[in-house]
Structures are given as C-alpha cells and as structure tokens.
Amino acid sequence: MIAVVQRAAEASVKVNGEVVGSIGRGLLVLLGVARGDSERDAEWIARKLAALRIFSDADGKMNLSVADVSGGVLLISQFTLLGDASKGNRPGFSRAEDPAAARVLYERVCGLVETGGLPVARGRFGESMQVALVNDGPVTILLDSKGMNEPSVADGPP
C-alpha cells in the first residue's frame, strides 16, 4: 500500500462539480492499494497516519500529529500511484489491486483512522475526482507499507 501524505491547511474533493469531502487543517492522503495488500498493510498505514508527526510545535519543529492539532484526514483512493512507466511512456497498472479488493482495503483504512478518533472525509472510490489542496509547508511524505517493520508499542493503536 502506498500513501502520499500532504500536510494541508485545507483540502477538498469534488465529484461532478459537487464537494463530497473537505477538511481544514489536517492531512490529504492519496492511497494506492497494491496487488497482494492485506489487512496488515491497512493497519500499518492507518497507524502511521495517526502517529505521523509532521505538524509544527511552538518551537517550529515537526513534532505534532494530526490529532495533536485537532486536524482531519481527507482520504482519497488513487490507483495511479501504482502506475509503472519504466518501459515506454504510457503507464501500466498491473501492480494495482483489482477494484473490488482495493475498495475493501481503502474502506478499512478509512474505518481504522476513524476508530482511532480522527475525523475522516473521503473521496468516492472509482470516480473521477478533482482534488484541491493548500499544501502547508509544503510538506509531503511517502509511505509504503511494504517497507514496514513490526509496529512498536510506541506506535500505539491505529
């Protein structure tokens, strides 16, 4: 599972001109579900999103999580993160999970983040969406669950 995490001053997503999800301060997360991803990948991503300390404290250091700043999370499914353009100029998407299985894991990540106490706004899975973002910083972090280690006690629950 791949996540592009952007620290947002605000973000929103539209489908057919209608805003279907928005947040103020928080995280805009573009989530790509890879073939073979599992519940374990979803749990790891959700835990990382909740614990990621990319908001500035009073000293200007990135030391606070989205919960610490009472922020929200806008989670958008984006299979194109798994695109491979290493051969030719048209990306292939064979690394992306099939839509039915990907939807289940996307929804699972959303649910785990919500269960962890964070407000979650969503895009619409499988729809063409227009995403607006005011990237704060800018700060953009890439997460890849395939590089995960066993979670430590310090990571806490998702």
Residue with the bigger pLDDT between 154 and 104: it is 104
Write down the pLDDT at residue 148. Answer: 66
CA pair distance 78, 125, nearest whole angstrom: 8
Q: pLDDT category, 154, cuts 50, 70, 90?
A: very low
In the chain the domains, ranked by start, together with CATH numbers, are: 2-151 (3.50.80.10)
Answer yes or no: is pLDDT of 151 > 80: no
In the block, residue with structure tokens 């690394």: 95
> Which of the residues are catalytic?
78-80
3-state SS assignment for residue 69 = coil
The token pair that represents 21 in the structure block? 């999800």
Residue 59 in contact with residue 45, Cβ under 8 Å? no
What is the percentage of the chain residues whose pLDDT exceeds 70?
93
Answer yes or no: is pLDDT of 114 > 50: yes
The token pair that represents 100 in the structure block? 């039915």
3-state SS assignment for residue 38 = coil
Write down the pLDDT at residue 157. Answer: 47
CA pair distance 76, 49, nearest whole angstrom: 13
Write down the pLDDT at residue 65. Answer: 98
End-to-end Cα distance, the chain:
16
Answer yes or no: is pLDDT of 150 > 70: no
Q: pLDDT category, 147, cuts 50, 70, 90?
A: confident
* pLDDT tens, position by position, 56-109: 999 999 999 999 999 999 999 999 999 999 998 999 999 999 999 999 999 999
* pLDDT tens, position by position, 132-141: 999 999 999 9
Q: pLDDT category, 53, cuts 50, 70, 90?
A: very high
3-state SS assignment for residue 147 = helix
Answer yes or no: is pLDDT of 156 > 60: no
